Amino acid sequence: MDSRFRAAQAAASVIARHGRRLAGLPGTHLGRVVAPGRAFSELGTWHYWWQAHYVDALLDAARRERAPHGPHARLARRVIRTIRLHNAFRYVNSYTDDMAWLGLAAQRLEALDPGVRLGPLHRVIARELEAASTPELGGGSWWSRDRDFKNTPATAPVSLYFARAGRTARARGLVDWLVANLLDAESGLFLDGIHLNRDGGTTVAREIYSYNQGPVLGTLLALGTREDLARAEALVHAVAEHLTRPDGTLITHGPGDGGLFTGILARYLALAALDERLTTAVRGTARSLVTATAGAFWAGRERVADAWVFPGASDVELSSQLQAWMSLEAAARLNESN
Q: What is the pLDDT of residue 42?
A: 60
Give burial (CB, 10 Å; 0-12/13-18/19+) of 181: buried
Q: What is the pLDDT of residue 37?
A: 74
SS3 72: helix
pTM, entire model: 0.96
Cα(272)–Cα(236) distance, integer angstroms: 8
* Cα of 251 vs its chain's centroid, Å: 16
CB 126 within 8 A of CB 191: no
**In Å, how far are 158, 181, 224, 275 from 221, measured between CA atoms?**
15, 20, 5, 8
Q: Which residues contact 143 (CB under 8 A, 6 or more apart)?
A: 95, 96, 97, 149, 150, 151, 153, 154, 193
Q: What is the chain's pLDDT, residue by residue, as a tens digit (338 residues)? A: 699 999 999 999 999 999 999 999 999 999 999 988 766 666 668 999 999 999 999 999 999 999 999 999 999 999 999 999 999 999 999 999 999 999 999 999 999 999 999 999 999 999 999 999 999 999 999 999 999 999 999 999 999 999 999 999 999 999 999 999 999 999 999 999 999 999 989 999 999 999 999 999 999 999 999 999 999 999 999 999 999 999 999 999 999 999 999 999 999 999 999 999 999 999 999 999 999 999 999 999 999 989 999 986 556 899 999 999 999 999 999 988 66
Q: What is the pLDDT of residue 36?
A: 81
Give burial (CB, 10 Å; 0-12/13-18/19+) of 44: exposed
E-only strand ranges, 92-240: 149-151, 193-196, 202-205
Of all helices (H) and strands (E), which one includes residue 74? helix 71-86
Q: What is the pLDDT of residue 4?
A: 97
| For helices 280-299 and 318-336, angle between their N-to-C axes, nearest 10 degrees | 130
Of all helices (H) and strands (E), which one includes residue 20? strand 19-20
